[in-house]
């Protein structure tokens, strides 16, 4: 009888004394679970890198809070944002990536391997991809903080439902303001879009749809100076920038879409940031720290599209893989300082 000698190739052990596992050493730690981070994870997982993704508290990222995405390739009929977010997560899981609904509270990019602290654990990464994205900018007017989450929102998908047959104000003139304003007309009686210039920034397709929507009206060259209300929001005080005229627009809810701000506060002093706080990188998604890469909205003040974020995530993961090919044998203990 033929005797079969099956040999299993030996598992590669982590380069340092730490086991890859619960809080151990990873080839790659991805900070952020939006389209950029998850695409990086898909590529890294498929390349068999031991990969951990700290997704933050909105797994799937901004699409999870978006009604419908009409311009992600290969979805000719559009796709619901939350569904797209789930598909990104599912795809990353398929390649054995570890996903944690957690976020970094402190990083040390001067140590080798890099050290990432969350409020629950400490992780070590031979490489890191920062894909922490961007958060909605606040208007900075009286009443905004007080009513945020109670009549003031930056998420029509989450909160639009509460405004059935009510009147709402949307602040901003970009794609988000118009897209979400259009979405809100499904519920609201009237949507007033208040924009500071007399020209909308949004792309033509949204401008056309919004202008054709009978529930939407525009207040141009107008700024919101205060969000008014007692227990609940009752309206906004506005000022026309051309005439100086002030007035009150009555509303039950206010949705603020005045752009995004990169989430980079953790990296100040360690990664090079531009004057607006975006992480500076080269065409290969490399930051000023070798082994730390960046992808998505946190480094992109210009395009901020899902497909662009995903593309930069793929590049970052491929570069991380390349970097690991030349990674020195880590004989030093995790957390030791780089020479
Ligand atoms: P945005 O394009 O930066 O537009 C922000 C808007 O807010 C602008 O109209 C701006 O006015 C106004 N604004 C900024 N600060 C303000 C302030 N302090 N007070 C009053 N108004 C203020 O941001 P966004 O609309 O969130 O879009 C972000 C990115 O996501 C863009 O690249 C956009 O194309 C993309 N996006 C794409 C889609 C899509 O393709 N499906 C959907 C949503 C968003 P000014 O115009 O005067 O600067």
pTM of the complete model: 0.82
Which member of 159, 252, 297, 300 is catalytic? 159
Q: Which residue has the tokens 């602290």?
A: 117
* Ligand 1 pocket check for 174: Cβ under 6 Å: yes
What's the CA-to-centroid distance between 88 and ligand 1, angstroms?
25
CA 279 to mean position of chain CA atoms: 14
* Ligand 1 pocket check for 277: Cβ under 6 Å: no
pLDDT of residue 24: 86
> Token digits for 153?
């929102």
Q: Are 112 and 336 in contact (CB under 8 A)?
A: yes
pLDDT of residue 326: 80
pLDDT of residue 14: 38
Residue nearest to atom 7 of ligand 1 (CA): 258
Which member of 158, 198, 274, 282 is catalytic? 158
* Ligand 1 pocket check for 68: Cβ under 6 Å: no
What's the CA-to-centroid distance between 200 and ligand 1, angstroms?
9
Which value, to the nearest 10 degrees, does the dihedral of the CA atoms of residues 279, 138, 256, 151 take? 140
Active site residue 158: yes
Q: Are 135 and 62 in contact (CB under 8 A)?
A: no
- Identify which of 164, 203, 228, 188 has the alpha carbon closest to the alpha carbon of residue 303: 203
* Ligand 1 pocket check for 258: Cβ under 6 Å: yes
Mean pLDDT by 10 residues, the chain (339 residues): 40 40 83 98 97 97 91 96 97 97 98 96 97 96 96 93 97 97 98 98 98 98 98 97 98 97 97 97 98 98 94 98 83 49
Beta bridge partners of 25: 124
Active site residue 155: yes
Question: Distance between CA 230 and CA 247 in Å, rounded?
Answer: 18
DSSP string, 219-241: E-SEEEEEEEESSSEEEEEEEET
* Ligand 1 pocket check for 176: Cβ under 6 Å: yes
- Identify which of 256, 140, 252 has the alpha carbon closest to the alpha carbon of residue 193: 256
What's the CA-to-centroid distance between 201 and ligand 1, angstroms?
7
What element of type H or E holds 275? none
């Amino acid at each position: 009888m033929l005797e079969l000698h099956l040999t299993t190739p030996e598992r590669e052990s982590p380069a340092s004394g730490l086991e890859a596992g619960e809080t151990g050493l990873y080839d790659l730690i991805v900070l952020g679970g939006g389209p950029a981070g998850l695409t990086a994870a898909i590529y890294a997982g498929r390349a068999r890198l031991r990969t951990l993704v700290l997704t933050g508290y909105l797994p799937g990222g901004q699409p999870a809070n978006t009604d419908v995405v009409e311009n992600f390739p290969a979805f000719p009929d559009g796709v619901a944002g939350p569904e797209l977010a789930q598909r990104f997560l599912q795809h990353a899981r398929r390649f054995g990536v570890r996903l944690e609904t957690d976020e970094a509270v402190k990083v040390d990019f001067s140590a080798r391997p890099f050290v990432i602290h969350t409020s629950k654990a400490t992780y070590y990464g031979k490489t890191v991809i920062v894909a922490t994205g961007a958060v909605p900018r606040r208007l900075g007017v009286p009443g905004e903080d007080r009513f945020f989450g109670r009549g003031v929102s930056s998420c029509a998908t989450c909160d639009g439902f509460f405004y059935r047959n009510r009147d709402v104000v949307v602040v901003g003139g970009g794609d988000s303001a118009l897209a979400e304003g259009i979405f809100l007309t499904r519920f609201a009686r009237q949507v007033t879009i208040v924009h500071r210039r007399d020209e909308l920034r949004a792309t033509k397709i949204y401008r056309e749809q919004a202008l054709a929507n009978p529930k939407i009206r525009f207040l141009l060259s107008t700024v919101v100076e205060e969000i008014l209300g007692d227990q609940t929001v009752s309206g906004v005080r506005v000022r026309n920038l051309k005439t100086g005229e002030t007035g009150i627009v009555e509303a039950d809810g206010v949705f603020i879409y005045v752009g995004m701000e990169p989430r980079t506060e953790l990296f100040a002093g360690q990664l090079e940031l531009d004057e607006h706080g975006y992480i500076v990188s080269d065409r290969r998604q490399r930051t000023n720290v070798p082994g730390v890469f960046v992808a998505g909205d946190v480094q992109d003040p210009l395009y901020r599209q899902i497909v662009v974020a995903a593309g930069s995530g793929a590049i970052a993961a491929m570069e991380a893989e390349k970097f690991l090919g030349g990674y020195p044998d880590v004989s030093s203990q995790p957390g030791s300082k780089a020479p």
